[in-house]
Amino acid sequence: MSQILITRPHGKGADLAEQLSQGGYQATLFPVLKIDYFTPDNTQLSPLLNADKIIFISQDAVKALLALKPDINIKAQFYAVGEQTAEAIWQAFGVRAAVPKQHDSEGLLALKSLQQIDGQNIVLVKGKDGRTTIAKNLKQRGAFLNNLVVYQRGPVEGNATDWIDHWQSLDVKGIVITSNAAVDAIFRELGAKQLEWIRRCQFYVASARISEHLAAQQIDSANIHIAAGASDSAMFTCISEGNIMSEDTKLTSQLADTKATQSSSTKANAKVADSPSATKKDFAMNQKPNPTNKQKVSKTGSLALLISLIVAAGVGYQFYQKLNTQQQENLLINQLSADNQLLSKELQAVKVAQQTLQQALFNSEQKVTAALAASEAETQQQLESALQRAEQQTYSLNPQEVTSLQRMAEFKLWAEKDYQGATAVLSRLDALLAEHPGTGAIRQAIHQDLQALSIVKSVPVEAIYLQLHGVLGQVDKLTFNAVALPQEVEQEEQHALSENVSDWQQNLANTWHQMMDGFIKIRQREDVAIEALLTEQERHLIKQRLSLYLSQAQDALLTKQASVYFTALNQASELVNDYFKQDDPQTQSVLKALAALNKESLNFNPEITLKSTEQVKEWAQ
C-alpha cells in the first residue's frame, strides 16, 4: 500500500486524504505552507465598486476578500481559475463564475470573454508574487488592471531537512503539491542525502507551471504527474493513474514470491518422501539370521517394521497433503493471472475509449473554433452593439438620466459659474454609473473633470468686500499733506470817514487809502512753506472722491468685474499718495491695505472643459 503525502495548507487536504484511504492508499497530511491574510485600505478596495470583471486566483483569495467585507459590484462578471474557487465564489457572493476547461493561467487567458477587453476595468484578486502571467497579458490587451493582493503563502515553522527525515521514516512514495510556494518550502536547504531520496519520489502537481518549477529542482520528468487541476477529484485521478503500473508490478512480484515458496516446499517434500525407502533398505540389510538371538531379533524386527510402516504412511500422507495444497495454490495463481490480464485488457480498453473521446472532443472544439473565427469578423460590430443594448436593458441604466445629469453639470459650470454645484452633479453621475458595468471610460473622464474642478479656487468675495469697507472707514481719519489758509483777521477800519467837517483833510487821506486798497497787492509770507493750499471744501471733495473709488471697487467685486476693481484701487492709491502725509501711520496703514487688495487673484471665469461630455455623447449613441 503506497504512502501518499499531502502538503496542502491546513484544512485543505482532508477530503483528498479520505478519498485516497478509500482507494487503498495510505494518506498523510503534512502542511508545508501557512496562509497570512492582508488588510488593504479603502483606496485599494475601491476598484471593486466599478469593476467590469473580477478574477479570483484561488479559494484563499475568495476567503481573504470575504473577510474584509468590501463593497463589491456583484453585477460584474466573475472568473475563477478552478472549480473549487468557483464554488467558493458562489458560497461567498452568490455569483456564478466563469471557469476555464484548463484550470491554470493559460486556460483562463484563453476564455473568449477575456479577449476583447480594451478599456475595461479588471480587478485581479490574488496572493503576493503570484500569477504574473495573467496580469501581464491582461495589460497587453488594453485593460485597466488593478492587482488586489489579499494574502501571502509562506513556509510553516520547521526545518525542511527534518521534514525529509520524517517522510523517510514513513516510507513516503508520492507527494502532492499544488503551488510553487510549496516546492520552494520543501527544497530549501536540503542536504545531498535528502535530495537523493526525494528525487526518487513521485510528485503529483496541479499544473504544468508547477511541473516546470519542480523540474528546476532536477526532478526527473518521469516522476512528475500533472493533474487536471487542484481539485480533490483531479488529484485523486492523477494519483490513481500514476500508480497503476506500480500496483501491477507489485502483484507480479507477489506471484513470483509465491511460486518460489511453492518450489522450495516441493523439494523439501520430495526429500522427506525418499527417507522411508532408505529406512527400509537399512532395515532389510540388518535382518540376517542369528541363531542365538533368533527369537529376539524376530520380535525386534517386527516392531521396527511396524514403526517404519507407520512413519512411511505419515510421511506419505503429509506429502499428499502438500501436493494437494500446491495444486490449489497453482490454480489460485493461474486464476489471479487470468484476472490480472483481464483487468489489464479492460484498463487498456478504457484508455483507448478515453483517448477516442478526447480526440472527438478536440476535433469538435476545433470545428467550433474554426466556425466562430470565420464569422467573428463579420458579426463583431453587431455583437458589440447588441451587448451594449443588452447591458443597458439588463441593468436598467437610463441614457436620458445620464445625459440630463451631464447637461446640468455643464449649466452649473458655464451659466451659473457654480463650480461646487457642477462638482456635486458629476459626483452624482459617477455614483449612478458605478452600479453598471461597461462605463469605465465615462467614469475615468468624470474623475478627471472632478480633479480639474477641485483645483479651481473660489474668490473670497465677502472677505475682500469687508477689507474694502474697513479702508473706507479710515478715509475720514487721513491727514492731508497741505497747510490750512490762515483766517482773514477782520481789522478795525482804520480809514473810516468822519462826519465832522473840520476833519476834511483826514477824510481826504482816508479816501485815498480806500481807493488804493481796491488794487491787487502782493504780500510775502515768511512763516509758511510753499505747498498746495487747500480749502476745507477741496479737502472734503478729495475725501469724497477717495471714498467713491473704494465704493466702486466694492461694486466691481460684487459684479465680478476684475478690471474695474483694479482700476478703482489704483486711482484710490494715487489719491492717497498725492494728497495725504506719507509719514503718518494712518496713511501708511491705508496704503498697505490697498496694496494687499491689489494683489488678490480675481479669476472669476477659469477655463475648464468637461472631458466627460464627449464620452457621454459617444456612449448614448
Using alpha carbons, select from 214, 239, 254, 204 the residue that is nearest to residue 26. 239
Which has the minimum average pLDDT: 185-199, 448-462, 469-483, 490-504?
490-504
Give the C-alpha separation, 123 to 148, whole Å: 7
- Under the banding of pLDDT at 50, 70 and 90, the label for residue 264 is very low
Burial of 104: CB neighbours in 10 Å, binned 0-12, 13-18, 19+: buried
**Can you say how many angstroms the Cα of residue 233 is from the centroid of all Cα atoms in its chain?**
29
Contacts 24+ apart (CB under 8 A), 600-604: 600/459, 600/464, 601/457, 601/459, 602/459, 602/557, 602/560, 602/562, 602/565, 602/566, 603/457, 603/459, 603/562, 604/417, 604/459, 604/560, 604/562
Using alpha carbons, select from 63, 263, 259 the residue that is nearest to residue 151. 63
Distances (CA, A) of 594 to 214, 232, 279, 476, 599: 79, 82, 147, 16, 9
Inform me whether the pLDDT recorded for 9 exceeds 80.
Answer: yes
- What the block records as the C-alpha cell of 544 is 469724497
Inform me whether the pLDDT recorded for 164 exceeds 80.
Answer: yes
Residue range 195-252, pLDDT digits in tens: 989 999 999 998 888 899 899 988 998 999 998 888 888 889 999 887 543 333 343 3
For 418-444, letters b (16+ CB in 10 Å) and e give: ebeebbebbeebbeebbebbbbbbbbb
Find the helix or strand (DSSP H, E) in which 34 lies.
Answer: strand 33-37
> What is the structure's pLDDT at 248?
39
pTM of the full structure: 0.39
Pairing between β-strand 3-6 and β-strand 174-177 as defined by DSSP bridges: parallel
> What is the structure's pLDDT at 483?
55
Residues 6+ apart with CB under 8 A from 505: none
- Under the banding of pLDDT at 50, 70 and 90, the label for residue 283 is very low
- Under the banding of pLDDT at 50, 70 and 90, the label for residue 499 is confident
Residue 541 CB coordination number (10 Å): 12
Average pLDDT of the segment spanning 186-193: 86
Inform me whether the pLDDT recorded for 339 exceeds 70.
Answer: yes
Which has the minimum average pLDDT: 120-129, 143-152, 270-279, 451-460?
270-279
Q: Residue 78: phi, psi to the nearest 5? A: -100, 150
- Under the banding of pLDDT at 50, 70 and 90, the label for residue 422 is confident
What single DSSP character describes residue 151? E
Residue range 74-130, pLDDT digits in tens: 899 999 998 889 999 999 999 999 999 888 888 899 999 999 999 899 999 998 877
- Under the banding of pLDDT at 50, 70 and 90, the label for residue 262 is very low
- Sign for the pseudo-dihedral over CA of 486, 491, 496, 502: negative
- What is the strand order of the sheet 77-80 is part of? 33-37, 144-155, 121-127, 53-56, 77-80
Average pLDDT of the segment spanning 553-580: 89
Inform me whether the pLDDT recorded for 62 exceeds 90.
Answer: yes
Question: Helix 612-620 crosses helix 440-455 at what angle (to 10 degrees)?
Answer: 160
Give the C-alpha separation, 358 to 355, whole Å: 5
> What is the structure's pLDDT at 522?
52
> What is the structure's pLDDT at 492?
45
Question: Helix 294-394 crosses helix 244-285 at what angle (to 10 degrees)?
Answer: 180
Higher pLDDT residue, 12 or 365? 12
What single DSSP character describes residue 493? -
Higher pLDDT residue, 116 or 289? 116
Give the C-alpha separation, 257 to 422, whole Å: 91
Residues 6+ apart with CB under 8 A from 247: none
- Under the banding of pLDDT at 50, 70 and 90, the label for residue 493 is low
Using alpha carbons, select from 124, 105, 347, 319 the residue that is nearest to residue 212. 105
Residue range 379-402, pLDDT digits in tens: 777 777 666 665 554 445 678 888
User: What single-letter amino acid sits at 562?
Assistant: A
Average pLDDT, the chain: 78
With H, G, I as helix, E, B as strand and everything else as coil, classify residue 159: coil
